[in-house]
Amino acid sequence: MEQPESDSVPYETAEQIILRWDATASEDARVRMIFEGDRQEIDRYLQAVDRIQLSLESTTLSDDDGAAGVQEQSKKINGAIQIAMARLEDEFRNILISHASPIETETLTESMSSTHLTPRNSTTLSEFPGNDDYSSRGDEDAISRDGSSNLSDRGESSNTISSYRSMSSIREIDLIPSDIVCDLRSIAERMIAAGYFRECVQVYGSVRKSAVDVCFKKLGVEKLSIGDIQRMEWETLNAKIGKWIRAAKMCIRVLFASEKRLCEQIFEGLGTAADEACFMETVKAPAVQLFNFAEAISISRRAPEKLFKILDLHDTLFDLLPDIDAVFDGKSAESIRVQATEILSRLAEAARGMLNEFENAVLREPSKVPVPGGTIHPLTRYVMNYISLISDYKQTLGELIVSRPATGSRYSDDLTTPDMDFTDHEEQSPLALHLIWIIVILQFNLEGKSKHYKDNSLAHLFIMNNVHYIVQKIKGSPELREMIGDHYLRKLTAKFRQAATSYQRSTWVGVLYCLRDEGLHVSGSFSSGVSKSALRERFKSFNAMFDDVHKTQALWLIPDAQLREELRISISDVLIPAYRSFLGRFRSHIENGRHPENYIKYSVEDLETAVLDFFEGCAISQHSRRRSQ
């Protein structure tokens, strides 16, 4: 303890100084604060306290005045010490309150901006598409970044959280000026030496905790129970998770770290773990409040749409764990360290459970009403955007997902679940196998949905559209393509091409059958040639069938322009040469008869133009108007 010449102060003088500042006996002492006065006054009071404390210690070593005299003197000195400690407690509280201004959020942000960690872009995810939930979605992707742009247009994948770990991520700032810290330490030193450790800690903790609470409010950290959090709607909770992630980094790395440093500056060396006791008195309740939020999320219902926010929380806490261990390194802070570790473990388990829930949801998604025009089903969009995001989180999920998916009907008679052969994927990670499995069960579900189309051609077109979309999403994400692998990608490509072939066979075999020669030629005893009546019926059949296909399939939709053009070309390559040849061989037989226009309805050019109407998703009249503009 610093004792500026306390031995030179007579006891009587020291006692007079102490009594002069007794707030219970003097109005002046009640309204004035010693540490708001001049430095000499402060030093005189501290010297007086030191002198009284020294006298108290001396009474235990001296019995010159006899036992009764020693007891009387000791009682008198103890009274002076009690007055002095009450005064120092008031001074301590006043100084702390005068310098308890909360850290500005701008200061916290500036401190955090110099850290080496790059946060992943925030992710918002709608709920899993419900039964027949496609009418309002159109071509929109169900998952978006930052709540705005569609994932299908997001281009490069998001930055992943860096694995950089260093104590340099902690940014301590000065909460109280250094000269004021010296005053606080001089008071704490004397209170603790006099046996007033608990009072000192309580005063310090109550004032500093209030400052921390104000910072929490500015950072958006609310006082919510675990029950409150679990009752919240997901949209509300989703926004709060983003705020919590930012706040948690600032609280651990700046706010709590700075509070710990202040405790060390004031209390270090003044008693057994005095600084640790004051630190925990200040931040334990706020720290529990902070972590209770993440804990509530970790034990909440495992809905698939929560997965990516759970992973954001997991990554944040994983990155913060070394800092938590560093800031809460004392024995009394063990419960905080344990809570953080347990939450991290529960978040990991929740993520695994949510991936499993997602797989089950994809398999069981029950919508039965066919999407109009055989276009891409909302389920397909949702699932592919979901697994594209999974690939963005592959570093984290790759560590969490360590077992293969539980698949198929190979070992059971359950025909409601597809099968998957792992022999072609021996070199791929468990996470990659889960992604492939999700695509397998998505196709299985889509095959079931295709059976609700009454037109087989449209069912094939539906499968083609959806599997093509799957292929394009995989190709559009380097991370996803790497995980899925080119071998399985080739299988998917072959599948949508097979669906396109099946569509053509289902639609055009009957139409082209009208253009065959068989049944048109007649022979007799007097002449041989072409049956005009049979030929006229053949042209009428072709016209009727093509009119029906043209009118119907103009309403069907292939949203991908390149695929749409490729299928039109494929149709033209079969239809146009066949019609041109048929028309060339038999036109004259019709034109030499009556009303040829009733039978030859289309020129070759007319057919070429009509094919351009296919798969636009709107009526033929709208196509004609658009081409004339």
For residue 629, what pLDDT is reported? 43
Q: Is 136 within 8 Å of 390 (Cβ atoms)?
A: no
- 109-130 per-position pLDDT tens digit: 665 554 444 445 545 566 667 5
383 vs 391: CA distance, rounded Å: 12
21 vs 24: CA distance, rounded Å: 9
For residue 406, what pLDDT is reported? 78
- Find the mean pLDDT for residues 542-551: 95
Q: Which one, of 578, 484, 494, 480, lies nearest residue 538 by Cα?
A: 578
The four Cα atoms 171, 172, 177, 183 give a dihedral, to 10 degrees, of 180
Residue 415 has pLDDT above 80, yes or no: no
- 345-384 per-position pLDDT tens digit: 999 999 999 999 999 999 988 888 999 999 999 999 999 9
Largest CA distance in the chain: 163
Which range among 42-56, 527-541, 610-624 has the greatest average pLDDT?
A: 42-56
H helix runs in 328-408, sequence order: 334-364, 378-392, 394-400
Q: Is 432 within 8 Å of 484 (Cβ atoms)?
A: yes
Q: How far is CA 81 from CA 61, 90, 438, in A?
A: 18, 14, 75
- Find the mean pLDDT for residues 474-485: 94
For residue 460, what pLDDT is reported? 97
Question: What are 147's two structure tokens?
Answer: 């709540």
CA 125 to chain centre: 8
Query: Is 103 exposed, middle or buried (CB count within 10 Å of its CB: 0-12, 13-18, 19+)?
Result: buried
Question: Using 50, 70 and 90 to split pLDDT, how confident is the model at 324?
Answer: very high
**How many residues are listed for the chain in this entry?**
629
Question: What are 528's two structure tokens?
Answer: 């041989």
For residue 411, what pLDDT is reported? 47
Query: Is 623 exposed, middle or buried (CB count within 10 Å of its CB: 0-12, 13-18, 19+)?
Result: middle
Amino acid at 611: V
Average pLDDT, the chain: 84
- Find the mean pLDDT for residues 376-402: 94
248 vs 32: CA distance, rounded Å: 41
Lowest mean pLDDT among 240-254, 283-297, 355-369, 407-421: 407-421
**φ, ψ (nearest 5 deg) of residue 124:** -115, 145
For residue 531, what pLDDT is reported? 84
Residue 167 has pLDDT above 70, yes or no: no
258 vs 279: CA distance, rounded Å: 10
> Within 10 Å of residue 403's Cβ, how many Cβ atoms?
9
Question: Using 50, 70 and 90 to split pLDDT, how confident is the model at 158?
Answer: very low
Sign of CA dihedral 354, 355, 356, 360: positive
603 vs 43: CA distance, rounded Å: 111
For residue 117, what pLDDT is reported? 41
The four Cα atoms 369, 374, 376, 378 give a dihedral, to 10 degrees, of -10
Task: Sort strands 521-523 and 528-530 into parallel, antiparallel or unpaired.
Answer: antiparallel
Residue 474 has pLDDT above 60, yes or no: yes
Supply the Cα-derived Rg of the chain in whole angstroms: 41
Q: Which residues of 122-132 are buried (b: 16+ CB within 10 A; e: fewer)?
A: bbbbbebbeee
- 573-605 per-position pLDDT tens digit: 999 999 999 998 888 888 777 777 888 999 999
Question: What are 240's two structure tokens?
Answer: 């709060």
Q: Name residues whose C-beta falls within 8 Å of residue 81's C-beta, 6 or more positions apart in sequence.
A: 52, 53, 56, 194
Question: Using 50, 70 and 90 to split pLDDT, how confident is the model at 414?
Answer: low
For residue 440, what pLDDT is reported? 94
For residue 302, what pLDDT is reported? 87
- Find the mean pLDDT for residues 87-100: 94
- Find the mean pLDDT for residues 594-619: 90
129 vs 51: CA distance, rounded Å: 78
Q: Report the percent of the chain where pLDDT is more than 90.
A: 61
Q: How far is CA 435 from CA 9, 401, 440, 509, 541, in A?
A: 82, 11, 9, 38, 49
- 220-256 per-position pLDDT tens digit: 999 988 889 989 998 899 999 999 999 999 999 999 9
For residue 144, what pLDDT is reported? 45
- Find the mean pLDDT for residues 463-472: 97
Q: Is 605 within 8 Å of 573 (Cβ atoms)?
A: no
- 42-55 per-position pLDDT tens digit: 999 999 999 988 88
Q: Name residues whose C-beta falls within 8 Å of residue 598's C-beta, 6 or more positions apart in sequence.
A: none
Question: Using 50, 70 and 90 to split pLDDT, how confident is the model at 422?
Answer: confident
